[in-house]
Structure 1
Protein backbone atom coordinates (compact mmCIF):
# COMPACT_ATOMS: atom_id res chain seq x y z
CA UNK A 1 0.00 0.00 0.00
CA UNK A 2 2.85 2.36 0.76
CA UNK A 3 4.24 2.07 -2.79
CA UNK A 4 0.80 2.76 -4.27
CA UNK A 5 0.46 5.77 -1.98
CA UNK A 6 3.80 7.19 -3.08
CA UNK A 7 2.96 6.66 -6.76
CA UNK A 8 -0.32 8.54 -6.34
CA UNK A 9 1.40 11.31 -4.37
CA UNK A 10 4.03 11.76 -7.09
CA UNK A 11 1.40 11.73 -9.86
CA UNK A 12 -0.62 14.37 -7.97
CA UNK A 13 2.51 16.49 -7.50
CA UNK A 14 3.20 16.25 -11.25
CA UNK A 15 -0.41 17.19 -12.09
CA UNK A 16 -0.15 20.06 -9.63
CA UNK A 17 3.01 21.45 -11.22
CA UNK A 18 1.54 21.03 -14.70
CA UNK A 19 -1.48 22.97 -13.41
CA UNK A 20 0.78 25.98 -12.88
CA UNK A 21 1.16 26.13 -16.66
CA UNK A 22 -2.12 24.68 -17.89
CA UNK A 23 -4.96 26.43 -16.05
CA UNK A 24 -7.45 23.66 -16.76
CA UNK A 25 -5.57 21.30 -14.40
CA UNK A 26 -6.19 21.59 -10.65
CA UNK A 27 -2.69 22.74 -9.69
CA UNK A 28 -2.70 23.60 -6.00
CA UNK A 29 -5.64 21.34 -5.26
CA UNK A 30 -3.83 18.31 -6.71
CA UNK A 31 -0.83 19.01 -4.49
CA UNK A 32 -3.10 19.53 -1.49
CA UNK A 33 -4.88 16.25 -2.30
CA UNK A 34 -1.49 14.49 -2.34
CA UNK A 35 -1.12 15.29 1.37
CA UNK A 36 -4.38 13.47 2.10
CA UNK A 37 -3.35 10.54 -0.07
CA UNK A 38 -0.10 10.32 1.90
CA UNK A 39 -2.09 10.44 5.12
CA UNK A 40 -4.55 7.73 4.08
CA UNK A 41 -1.97 5.40 2.55
CA UNK A 42 0.96 5.99 4.91
CA UNK A 43 0.29 8.23 7.92
CA UNK A 44 -1.17 11.55 8.99
CA UNK A 45 1.11 11.65 12.05
CA UNK A 46 3.81 13.93 10.54
CA UNK A 47 1.20 16.59 9.83
CA UNK A 48 0.02 18.82 12.60
CA UNK A 49 -1.76 22.11 13.00
CA UNK A 50 1.08 24.21 11.57
CA UNK A 51 1.51 22.04 8.48
CA UNK A 52 -2.17 22.26 7.57
CA UNK A 53 -2.36 25.98 8.40
CA UNK A 54 0.66 26.88 6.28
CA UNK A 55 -0.43 24.69 3.35
CA UNK A 56 -3.99 26.04 3.45
CA UNK A 57 -2.71 29.62 3.49
CA UNK A 58 -0.51 28.88 0.48
CA UNK A 59 -3.46 27.38 -1.41
CA UNK A 60 -5.56 30.45 -0.59
CA UNK A 61 -2.71 32.71 -1.72
CA UNK A 62 -2.47 30.74 -4.96
CA UNK A 63 -6.16 31.22 -5.75
CA UNK A 64 -5.97 34.93 -5.01
CA UNK A 65 -2.68 35.38 -6.86
CA UNK A 66 -3.92 33.48 -9.90
CA UNK A 67 -6.62 36.04 -10.57
CA UNK A 68 -4.91 39.10 -9.06
CA UNK A 69 -1.59 38.79 -10.92
CA UNK A 70 -3.34 38.29 -14.26
CA UNK A 71 -5.64 41.24 -13.57
CA UNK A 72 -2.61 43.28 -12.47
CA UNK A 73 -0.95 42.65 -15.86
CA UNK A 74 -4.03 43.84 -17.71
CA UNK A 75 -4.59 46.86 -15.44
CA UNK A 76 -0.88 47.81 -15.49
CA UNK A 77 -1.14 48.23 -19.24
CA UNK A 78 -4.30 50.33 -19.01
CA UNK A 79 -6.94 47.63 -19.36
CA UNK A 80 -10.55 47.87 -18.29
CA UNK A 81 -12.70 45.37 -16.41
CA UNK A 82 -13.92 44.05 -19.76
CA UNK A 83 -10.37 43.21 -20.81
CA UNK A 84 -9.73 41.42 -17.48
CA UNK A 85 -12.85 39.33 -18.07
CA UNK A 86 -11.88 38.71 -21.71
CA UNK A 87 -8.39 37.66 -20.66
CA UNK A 88 -9.77 35.28 -18.04
CA UNK A 89 -12.13 33.70 -20.57
CA UNK A 90 -9.20 33.44 -23.00
CA UNK A 91 -7.03 31.65 -20.43
CA UNK A 92 -9.74 29.05 -19.91
CA UNK A 93 -11.00 28.66 -23.49
CA UNK A 94 -7.78 29.34 -25.42
CA UNK A 95 -6.13 25.92 -25.01
CA UNK A 96 -9.33 24.22 -26.29
CA UNK A 97 -10.01 26.56 -29.21
CA UNK A 98 -6.39 26.86 -30.38
CA UNK A 99 -4.68 23.71 -29.05
CA UNK A 100 -1.05 24.51 -29.86
CA UNK A 101 -0.93 28.21 -28.98
CA UNK A 102 -4.17 28.82 -27.11
CA UNK A 103 -2.51 29.28 -23.75
CA UNK A 104 -0.81 32.45 -25.01
CA UNK A 105 -3.24 33.58 -27.72
CA UNK A 106 -6.37 33.02 -25.61
CA UNK A 107 -5.72 35.72 -23.00
CA UNK A 108 -4.17 38.01 -25.61
CA UNK A 109 -7.20 37.82 -27.92
CA UNK A 110 -9.65 37.86 -24.99
CA UNK A 111 -8.14 41.05 -23.57
CA UNK A 112 -8.02 42.71 -26.99
CA UNK A 113 -11.67 41.87 -27.68
CA UNK A 114 -12.70 43.02 -24.20
CA UNK A 115 -10.92 46.33 -24.67
CA UNK A 116 -12.35 46.84 -28.17
CA UNK A 117 -15.87 46.21 -26.82
CA UNK A 118 -15.53 49.11 -24.39
CA UNK A 119 -14.49 51.38 -27.24
CA UNK A 120 -10.71 51.55 -26.99
CA UNK A 121 -8.65 51.98 -30.13
CA UNK A 122 -6.62 49.18 -31.67
CA UNK A 123 -3.26 50.36 -30.28
CA UNK A 124 -4.50 50.50 -26.69
CA UNK A 125 -6.28 47.16 -27.08
CA UNK A 126 -3.08 45.54 -28.36
CA UNK A 127 -1.10 47.03 -25.47
CA UNK A 128 -3.63 45.67 -22.97
CA UNK A 129 -3.51 42.26 -24.71
CA UNK A 130 0.26 42.25 -24.27
CA UNK A 131 -0.30 43.11 -20.60
CA UNK A 132 -2.55 40.07 -20.22
CA UNK A 133 0.25 37.84 -21.51
CA UNK A 134 2.70 39.50 -19.08
CA UNK A 135 0.19 38.88 -16.29
CA UNK A 136 -0.27 35.26 -17.38
CA UNK A 137 3.46 34.54 -17.31
CA UNK A 138 3.86 36.39 -14.01
CA UNK A 139 1.03 34.32 -12.58
CA UNK A 140 2.70 31.12 -13.78
CA UNK A 141 5.96 32.06 -12.07
CA UNK A 142 4.15 32.83 -8.80
CA UNK A 143 2.24 29.54 -8.99
CA UNK A 144 5.35 27.50 -9.73
CA UNK A 145 7.22 29.05 -6.80
CA UNK A 146 4.37 28.65 -4.31
CA UNK A 147 3.58 25.10 -5.41
CA UNK A 148 7.25 24.13 -5.13
CA UNK A 149 7.21 25.57 -1.61
CA UNK A 150 4.19 23.37 -0.82
CA UNK A 151 6.01 20.26 -2.04
CA UNK A 152 9.27 21.16 -0.29
CA UNK A 153 7.42 21.77 2.98
CA UNK A 154 5.75 18.38 2.61
CA UNK A 155 9.13 16.65 2.33
CA UNK A 156 10.58 18.67 5.19
CA UNK A 157 7.61 17.73 7.39
CA UNK A 158 7.82 14.01 6.69
Structure 2
Protein backbone atom coordinates (compact mmCIF):
# COMPACT_ATOMS: atom_id res chain seq x y z
CA UNK A 1 0.00 0.00 0.00
CA UNK A 2 2.84 2.42 0.79
CA UNK A 3 4.46 1.55 -2.54
CA UNK A 4 1.19 2.49 -4.29
CA UNK A 5 1.37 5.97 -2.79
CA UNK A 6 4.98 6.27 -3.87
CA UNK A 7 4.04 5.28 -7.45
CA UNK A 8 1.14 7.75 -7.51
CA UNK A 9 3.39 10.56 -6.27
CA UNK A 10 6.04 9.68 -8.87
CA UNK A 11 3.34 9.43 -11.53
CA UNK A 12 1.98 12.88 -10.71
CA UNK A 13 5.51 14.34 -10.64
CA UNK A 14 6.28 12.89 -14.08
CA UNK A 15 3.02 14.18 -15.51
CA UNK A 16 3.63 17.67 -14.11
CA UNK A 17 7.17 17.59 -15.51
CA UNK A 18 5.64 16.49 -18.82
CA UNK A 19 3.32 19.47 -18.71
CA UNK A 20 6.31 21.78 -18.25
CA UNK A 21 8.06 19.92 -21.07
CA UNK A 22 5.31 20.92 -23.48
CA UNK A 23 6.71 24.44 -23.37
CA UNK A 24 10.39 23.75 -22.66
CA UNK A 25 11.65 21.59 -25.54
CA UNK A 26 14.65 20.29 -23.63
CA UNK A 27 12.21 18.21 -21.56
CA UNK A 28 10.34 15.50 -23.51
CA UNK A 29 6.87 16.46 -22.24
CA UNK A 30 4.41 13.90 -23.64
CA UNK A 31 6.74 10.88 -23.19
CA UNK A 32 7.31 11.80 -19.53
CA UNK A 33 3.58 12.28 -18.96
CA UNK A 34 2.87 8.92 -20.60
CA UNK A 35 5.48 7.28 -18.40
CA UNK A 36 3.70 8.78 -15.39
CA UNK A 37 0.43 7.28 -16.59
CA UNK A 38 2.13 3.91 -17.08
CA UNK A 39 3.41 3.99 -13.50
CA UNK A 40 -0.10 4.77 -12.25
CA UNK A 41 -1.31 1.63 -14.05
CA UNK A 42 0.69 -0.51 -11.63
CA UNK A 43 -1.04 0.80 -8.49
CA UNK A 44 -3.97 -0.90 -6.80
CA UNK A 45 -5.97 2.35 -7.22
CA UNK A 46 -5.89 2.30 -11.02
CA UNK A 47 -8.54 1.02 -13.37
CA UNK A 48 -6.50 1.85 -16.48
CA UNK A 49 -6.51 -0.86 -19.14
CA UNK A 50 -3.71 -1.84 -21.47
CA UNK A 51 -5.63 -0.67 -24.54
CA UNK A 52 -5.69 2.90 -23.21
CA UNK A 53 -2.01 2.74 -22.28
CA UNK A 54 -1.08 1.37 -25.73
CA UNK A 55 -3.20 3.87 -27.68
CA UNK A 56 -1.78 6.77 -25.68
CA UNK A 57 1.74 5.41 -26.29
CA UNK A 58 1.09 5.55 -30.04
CA UNK A 59 -0.37 9.05 -29.82
CA UNK A 60 2.60 10.17 -27.71
CA UNK A 61 5.07 8.78 -30.24
CA UNK A 62 3.32 10.46 -33.17
CA UNK A 63 3.03 13.81 -31.35
CA UNK A 64 6.71 13.69 -30.37
CA UNK A 65 7.75 13.07 -33.98
CA UNK A 66 5.41 15.73 -35.36
CA UNK A 67 6.75 18.25 -32.89
CA UNK A 68 10.09 18.13 -34.69
CA UNK A 69 8.50 18.32 -38.13
CA UNK A 70 5.85 21.07 -37.66
CA UNK A 71 8.21 24.09 -37.80
CA UNK A 72 9.88 22.97 -41.02
CA UNK A 73 6.61 21.85 -42.63
CA UNK A 74 4.73 25.11 -41.96
CA UNK A 75 7.73 27.21 -43.01
CA UNK A 76 7.74 25.33 -46.30
CA UNK A 77 3.97 25.83 -46.70
CA UNK A 78 4.47 29.58 -46.25
CA UNK A 79 6.81 29.77 -49.22
CA UNK A 80 10.02 28.54 -47.67
CA UNK A 81 12.45 26.33 -49.52
CA UNK A 82 14.32 23.23 -48.41
CA UNK A 83 17.03 25.60 -47.23
CA UNK A 84 14.58 27.26 -44.86
CA UNK A 85 13.15 23.93 -43.72
CA UNK A 86 16.59 22.59 -42.87
CA UNK A 87 17.50 25.91 -41.29
CA UNK A 88 14.44 25.56 -39.06
CA UNK A 89 15.48 22.11 -37.85
CA UNK A 90 19.12 23.11 -37.35
CA UNK A 91 18.03 26.34 -35.66
CA UNK A 92 15.80 24.43 -33.24
CA UNK A 93 18.60 22.18 -32.08
CA UNK A 94 21.26 24.89 -32.14
CA UNK A 95 19.01 27.34 -30.33
CA UNK A 96 18.28 24.87 -27.54
CA UNK A 97 21.95 23.95 -27.16
CA UNK A 98 23.22 27.52 -27.03
CA UNK A 99 20.29 29.46 -25.58
CA UNK A 100 18.35 26.86 -23.60
CA UNK A 101 14.54 27.01 -23.63
CA UNK A 102 14.54 30.53 -25.09
CA UNK A 103 16.51 29.14 -28.02
CA UNK A 104 13.63 26.80 -28.89
CA UNK A 105 11.55 29.84 -29.78
CA UNK A 106 14.27 31.94 -31.39
CA UNK A 107 16.27 29.12 -33.02
CA UNK A 108 13.71 27.92 -35.58
CA UNK A 109 12.88 31.49 -36.58
CA UNK A 110 16.53 32.51 -37.03
CA UNK A 111 17.42 29.18 -38.66
CA UNK A 112 14.67 29.53 -41.27
CA UNK A 113 15.59 33.14 -41.91
CA UNK A 114 19.31 32.35 -42.35
CA UNK A 115 18.53 29.29 -44.49
CA UNK A 116 16.36 31.34 -46.82
CA UNK A 117 18.88 34.17 -47.01
CA UNK A 118 21.79 31.82 -47.74
CA UNK A 119 20.18 30.07 -50.67
CA UNK A 120 20.69 31.68 -54.02
CA UNK A 121 17.48 33.08 -55.47
CA UNK A 122 17.16 34.02 -59.10
CA UNK A 123 15.62 37.44 -59.65
CA UNK A 124 12.49 35.91 -61.16
CA UNK A 125 11.87 33.93 -57.95
CA UNK A 126 12.29 36.88 -55.59
CA UNK A 127 8.67 36.58 -54.43
CA UNK A 128 9.67 34.06 -51.73
CA UNK A 129 10.05 36.15 -48.61
CA UNK A 130 12.58 34.78 -46.08
CA UNK A 131 10.78 36.58 -43.26
CA UNK A 132 7.55 34.77 -44.10
CA UNK A 133 9.36 31.44 -43.92
CA UNK A 134 10.78 32.40 -40.52
CA UNK A 135 7.29 33.32 -39.26
CA UNK A 136 6.10 29.93 -40.53
CA UNK A 137 8.74 28.17 -38.46
CA UNK A 138 7.60 30.05 -35.36
CA UNK A 139 3.97 29.16 -36.07
CA UNK A 140 5.02 25.53 -36.47
CA UNK A 141 6.72 25.66 -33.10
CA UNK A 142 3.56 27.07 -31.52
CA UNK A 143 1.46 24.37 -33.20
CA UNK A 144 3.78 21.75 -31.71
CA UNK A 145 3.37 23.27 -28.24
CA UNK A 146 -0.42 23.23 -28.64
CA UNK A 147 -0.55 19.61 -29.77
CA UNK A 148 1.73 18.55 -26.91
CA UNK A 149 -0.43 20.41 -24.38
CA UNK A 150 -3.55 18.68 -25.71
CA UNK A 151 -1.83 15.27 -25.52
CA UNK A 152 -0.67 15.79 -21.94
CA UNK A 153 -4.13 17.13 -21.08
CA UNK A 154 -5.65 13.87 -22.34
CA UNK A 155 -3.13 11.89 -20.28
CA UNK A 156 -4.05 13.94 -17.19
CA UNK A 157 -7.72 13.28 -17.89
CA UNK A 158 -7.17 9.51 -18.03
CA UNK A 159 -5.13 9.62 -14.83
CA UNK A 160 -7.83 11.49 -12.95
CA UNK A 161 -10.72 9.41 -14.30
CA UNK A 162 -9.02 6.07 -13.64
CA UNK A 163 -7.73 6.64 -10.11
Q: CA deviation at 1:83?
A: 1.6
Partner of 1:155: 160
2:23 is aligned, of 16, 21, 24, to 21
TM-score for the superposition, normalised by structure 1: 0.84
Cα distance in structure 2, aligned partners of 1:131 and 1:48: 40
Mapped partners of 1:152, 1:100: distance in 2: 27
Q: 1:138 aligns with which of 136, 143, 148?
A: 143
Contact map agreement 1:55 1:150 (CA 8 A) in 2: yes
Distance 2:74 2:86 in 1: 13
What are the superposed Cα offsets for residues 101-121 of structure 1, whole Å, 9 maximum, x if unpaired?
422211111111222232246
The offset of 1:100, in angstroms, is: 7.1
Q: Match for residue 125 of structure 1?
A: 130
Q: Please give the root-mean-square deviation of Cα atoms over the aligned residues, in Å.
A: 2.4
Cα deviations across residues 103-145 of structure 1 (Å, max 9, x unaligned)?
2211111111222232246x72222111111111111111111
Output the CA distance in 2 between the equivalents of 1:45 and 1:8. Answer: 14
Q: Offset of 1:97 from its aligned partner?
A: 1.7
Query: Partner of 1:25: helix, strand, or coil?
Result: coil
- TM superposition outliers: structure 1 runs of 4+ over 6 Å: none
Within-5 A mapping of 1:92-131: 92-99=93-100, 101-120=102-121, 124-131=129-136
C-alpha separation in 1, matches of 2:89 and 2:105:
12
Gaps of 5+ in 2: none
Aligned length: 157
Bigger CA radius of gyration = 2
Query: For the Cα contact (< 8 Å) 1:58–1:150, is it kept in 2?
Result: no
Q: Deviations over 1:56-107 (max 9, x none)?
A: 2321331243134323321121112222222122222213323474222111
Judged with a 3 Å threshold, the aligned counterparts in structure 2 of structure 1 residues 54 and 99 are, in CA distance, closer, same or farther, namely closer
Report if aligned partners of 2:71, 2:108 keep a CA contact under 8 Å in 1.
no
Which residue is 1:55 aligned to?
Answer: 56
